[in-house]
Structure 1
Amino acid sequence: MVYDIIGDIHGQADKLKGLLTKLGYRHNGVCYIAPKGHQAVFIGDLIDRGNQELATLFIVFDMIDNKQAIAVMGNHEYNAIGYATPNTITNDGSYLRVHSQHNTHQHQAFLDEVGFNSKLHRHWISRLYELPLWIETPHAIFIHACYDTCSMRQLQPLLTQHNQLTEHAVQLMGQPNTPIFFAAERLLKGIDVPLPKGITKTDKTGISRTRARVKWWEDDWQNRPISEILMADNLPNTTLSLSPDLQNFHINTDKFIFIGHYWLDGKPTPLTDQVVCIDYSAGKDGVLTAYRFDTNNPTLSADNFIW
């Protein structure tokens, strides 16, 4: 089997059509058909930012429905579910994802196309529930942001047998500052830590942040200077003070791990000899990228990227 793993699309349907064509997929009038022996894997963040939200969803789910693709959930799909779902635990009229100015702006491209709480909106939210939080095969693990077996064990009792969300799980995961909340955040958004006092980072969307994402795939990251293991520039060579769960964090699998989420740039290359990120900022001004993984020749190489 050859998996064509496709990075974060963010509503860029034209880029997706171009990449699928370059990968050798052909549309038969119903969906894009994979080359013989291939299957597409979408690594999450199908929606938000771009102006072709529904077109992207139709392409992806038509392929899923016709067994030409599989997909995992990204944080933007998870956020969309929370934004659409009233908090039935507090029952105070609020939503699981607060309708703040920032959250609404981040989600506006999707809302503009579906209309909040419309029949179309509810249809696509129900379809997003079908996306598992992770997929594991004999050779690889596909997960949007962070492979963390501790968080996976915490969430698994709440999920379907295929690691999909349930309405009950969404309610529990949407309650801030609980272990279940943090487990979902870890898998879908990665590990982030506070920046040193007085330092802020402006992300690619122009938001000023006081926290930065950790390069959790790096060896012994807990004991290395933050200038090497945080995704931010111009940091001092100090180390982090970490909670026990992060001090004990490690990758406890020999399988290859494929992720998206991290808005990389430059020429695509594997992060390590085990971990590949396929997100090269297609949602802004970067390229939509795929990694072609052949289970009969399971080694990682920059030559396997296509964009």
Structure 2
Amino acid sequence: MITVIPDIHADPQRLEATLSATDGQLAFLGDFIDGGQGACDHTVLTRVRGLIDAGAVAVMGNHELNALLFHRGLRADSPKNRNQHRSFLEAFGFATPEAMAWTDWFLTLPLWLDLDGLRLAHACWSIPDIATVAARRPDGRLQESDLAEIGAESTPFGRAVKRIVSGPEVTLPAGYAFRDHKGDLRTEVRLAWWRNDAATYREAALSVPDVAALPDVPLPAGVAAEIYPADAAPVLVGHYKMTGTPHVSGSAASIDYLEAPCAYRWDGEEVLNAERLSKI
């Protein structure tokens, strides 16, 4: 039995409630830091690190990667980025010895895990991107020397790392755009890469308030190649702040339900099953 736990975001109550409803081997999907009201990065990090030292496993989230970059001057020190990182900064400060020690620990977290039939990543199990990173870092663990390249997204390696922790986005055909939830006009759309029955932009789009704004045409071959194969090993991710009733099926799914916390109890099944979800 492996219990998979999605994003905690510095919420000690959510963490303890989740732990009380789980059993077996623990596997975390990253994003331990950077919470909202009531966040306590220190409490969550200390608890999770203790669990990992005792045998739990975890992958790196985009917030851990962003913190690595931010405290090394490789991510813009903008109001937006400081706001996203506020609770960590309030707990540890900017580039202080404690902040640097915790971000050093983030480097021990791999970008992906393959647990004898169950695959885990924070945002995307991209077969080509994982192959690109594994050619240099076979265990998926980054090194300090990789960070400048990742921050600049200047190479295939750097871009592959970003997609694994943040998910793929695709550019819409010329002439198409949509308004996001904040009203901003966008020409790139998040791809729900786990929907292996998605064949069009509308079916594969994620976080689009009005999918009618998107072209109802087949995905080009290069984009369709990002969709996870239906016959591949099951994979679970977090990251996406899913809405509605938690649900999984098929070969891949996000279990990051912000308003309906859950965990997934995997017991060797080859197809994900909603009955294996534990509501918190």
Shared fold (TM-score greater than 0.5)? Answer: yes
Distance change in 2, residues 1:207/1:173 (3 Å): farther
SS at match of 2:164: helix
Aligned counterpart, 2:179: 200
- Partners of 2:31 and 2:70 lie apart in 1 by 15
Residues 167-213 of structure 1, C-alpha deviations (whole Å, 9 max, x = no match): 112222222343222211211111113466452202xxx58462331
Distance change in 2, residues 1:48/1:251 (3 Å): same
SS at match of 1:174: helix
Matched, 1:13 2:1: no
Aligned counterpart, 1:83: 70
8 A Cα contact 1:191 1:214, kept in partner: yes
SS at match of 2:135: helix
Distance change in 2, residues 1:6/1:107 (3 Å): same
- Partners of 1:185 and 1:241 lie apart in 2 by 26
SS at match of 1:102: helix
Which residues of structure 1 form unaligned runs of 5+? 24-34, 86-94
Matched, 1:151 2:129: yes
Distance change in 2, residues 1:137/1:100 (3 Å): same
Note the 1:282-297 alignment, pairs <5 A.
Answer: 286-295=259-268, 297=269
Deviates further, 9-18 or 174-183: 174-183
Aligned counterpart, 1:31: none
Residues 43-78 of structure 1, C-alpha deviations (whole Å, 9 max, x = no match): 1111112311111111111000111x1000011111
Distance change in 2, residues 1:117/1:184 (3 Å): same
Q: Which amino acid is the alignment partner of residue 26 of structure 2? A: A
TM-superposed CA distance for 1:228, in Å, is 2.2
Residues 241-266 of structure 1, C-alpha deviations (whole Å, 9 max, x = no match): 86764243343562110111110122
Matched, 1:129 2:107: yes
Aligned counterpart, 1:235: 211
Note the 1:169-184 alignment, pairs <5 A.
Answer: 169-184=146-161
Matched, 1:44 2:44: no
8 A Cα contact 1:79 1:97, kept in partner: yes
TM-superposed CA distance for 1:287, in Å, is 3.3
Aligned counterpart, 1:300: 272
Q: Which amino acid is the alignment partner of residue 83 of structure 1? A: F
8 A Cα contact 2:111 2:141, kept in partner: yes
Note the 1:88-107 alignment, pairs <5 A.
Answer: 95-107=73-85
Q: Which amino acid is the alignment partner of residue 141 of structure 1? A: R
- Partners of 1:74 and 1:209 lie apart in 2 by 27
TM-superposed CA distance for 1:13, in Å, is 1.0
Residues 103-155 of structure 1, C-alpha deviations (whole Å, 9 max, x = no match): 11111111111111111101101111111000012211101111111111211
- Partners of 2:183 and 2:25 lie apart in 1 by 36
Deviates further, 179-188 or 209-218: 209-218
Distance change in 2, residues 1:56/1:278 (3 Å): same
TM-superposed CA distance for 1:162, in Å, is 2.4
Residues 18-46 of structure 1, C-alpha deviations (whole Å, 9 max, x = no match): 111122xxxxxxxxxxx4xx111101111
Q: Which amino acid is the alignment partner of residue 80 of structure 1? A: A
Distance change in 2, residues 1:194/1:118 (3 Å): same
Match of 1:189 among 166, 175, 189: 166
SS at match of 2:82: helix
Which residues of structure 2 form unaligned runs of 5+? none
Identity %: 28
Matched, 1:217 2:194: yes
Higher RCO, 1 or 2 (CA under 8 Å, sep at least 6)?
1
8 A Cα contact 2:246 2:260, kept in partner: no
